[in-house]
Amino acid sequence: MSSEMYSVLSLGAGVNSTALLHVLLDRGHRLDEVVFADTGAEKPETYEYLEKWIKPYLKEKGIPYAEVRAKTLLIDRCMNGHTIPDRHFRWSTRDMKINPIKKHLKSKAPVDVYLGICYDEIHRVKQSPIPWITNSWPLVDYRITRSRCEEIIREKGWPIPVKSGCWFCPFQRKSEWYSLWKNKPALWEQSKRIEQNGSGYPNFALHDKTLPILEQEFKLVKEPNWHQETLDECSGYCMT
């Protein structure tokens, strides 16, 4: 990339982008800024990880950190619009993640955006449709896998972060919904309210089954051993 390009890490605060932060600095990449798009509904563990590990580290390294948000946060958008995040149209990723980042970076164009896609997710690599943004994938370039990302984080003495994403993200596995139900009942109840408030409820739900139906399943098991995969993939801005 040109040395004149403004270089930014799009941070999701999950495993990939956290490992990528260390890779960029350890390998001497130019890094002008780290940007985190906050929907207002990130997992509580993600906010804690940002405060305890990432923000102090960036301050120590002298790297600017920015949090960007849409004018209306995700929960308010869902409740006021009687809608829920959609796997197919992905308006929540577009409006809550991509557009706020794009608006923030516009004045800095041209921009090179580092995305936390690892080598075993190479099929997710896509060029930016925005002419003044160039996407880069150093984890792919260096053939760094997801498991290696975890090793990199541990080698730094950091704990492994939870998978980034909203706590009512439609890309969650069934086991993640179960964890929300079991460990964060207040957020589970709020997820149900969001779903039931949707104009298409119950036929157009966050999961392939509505949350109240899932809840009945959860009550029948103690510790499920689900390995259900997501039905689709995020664009790379969200779940890294």
pLDDT tens-digit readout, 32-49: 999 999 999 999 999 999
Q: Is the pLDDT of residue 232 over 70?
A: no
Q: Is residue 163 part of a domain?
A: no
Number of domains in the chain: 1
Q: Is residue 19 part of a domain?
A: yes
CATH number at residue 136: 3.40.50.620
Mean pLDDT of 107-111: 95
Q: Is residue 66 part of a domain?
A: yes
Q: Is residue 201 part of a domain?
A: no
Cα–Cα distance, 195 to 210 (Å, whole number) = 8
Helix axes 15-26, 146-155, angle to 10 degrees: 60
Mean pLDDT of 198-222: 85
Q: Is residue 126 part of a domain?
A: yes
Q: State the pLDDT at residue 90.
A: 84
Q: Is residue 76 part of a domain?
A: yes
**Which two structure tokens, joined as six digits, stand for 118?**
């690892």
Closest CA to 112 of 202, 230, 3, 227: 3
Closest CA to 49 of 155, 151, 153, 162: 162
pLDDT tens-digit readout, 46-101: 999 999 999 999 999 999 999 999 999 999 999 999 999 887 778 898 999 999 99
Whole-model pTM: value is: 0.90
pLDDT tens-digit readout, 143-194: 999 999 999 999 999 999 999 899 999 888 888 999 999 999 999 999 999 9
Q: Which domain holds residue 17?
A: 6-155
Q: Is residue 136 part of a domain?
A: yes
Q: Is residue 195 part of a domain?
A: no
